[in-house]
Amino acid sequence: MHKFVRQGLWLLPVGIAFTDCIASVLKVEGASMRPTLNPDSNGPSDWVLVEKLSVKLQRCYTRGEVVVLWAPDNPHQQIIKRLLAVEGDTIIEDAKTHSWTEVPQGRCWIEGDNAPMSGDSKSAFGPVHLGLLEGRVTHIVWPPARMGRVAVQEQPARLLQTDRRHV
């Protein structure tokens, strides 16, 4: 028993470092990313693999990826959204009113796939700080029937101008 406790104490910081810097699994809450995540309101919630190394340490991210970030209005809550634009990009917020936003340096534009059910850059936050990004969602790992890679979407037609350094 004593050996088991010593091994467990040694593995605890390794596990914490792994889930903080490399990868973790996260339960998807809500309907903001429907139909990509949690497509069936009556079915089980999706659980996703979140790869963190490239985002947190290498500052590498791609338009169209599903990302996990800390909510700008609640530092204790993580949210899952799609990264639509990065610093230097210009995005049309509303085609009817022709309103647009140029994403400032150090910021990005995130939106849920299910706009009416999403608090995001368009409806609540505006451009969010890149430092809030925690990782990218790469795979659905649960339920078994939905296991697979999460697709990166093409650039939206609302993206007017892109900064080629972040393709």
Tell me if residue 32 is catalytic: yes
Q: What is the DSSP string of 74-126?
A: EEEEEEEEEEEEETT-EEEEETTTTEEEEPPTTEEEEE-SSGGG--SIIIIIS
**CA 41, 123, 92, 132 torsion-angle sign:** negative
The residue annotated as part of the active site, out of 3, 54, 81, 123, is 81
pLDDT single digits (tens) 20-70: 888 999 999 999 999 999 999 888 999 999 999 988 777 888 999 999 999
pLDDT for residue 154: 82
Q: What is the DSSP letter of 8?
A: H
| Amino acid at the residue 106 | G
**What residues make up the domain containing 107?**
2-166
Is the pLDDT at 9 greater than 80? The verdict is no
The residue annotated as part of the active site, out of 3, 24, 27, 32, is 32
Distance CA 52, CA 85 (A): 19
pLDDT for residue 109: 95
CATH number, domain containing residue 76: 2.10.109.10
pLDDT for residue 111: 94
pLDDT for residue 167: 47
Q: How many domains does the structure of the chain reveal? A: 1
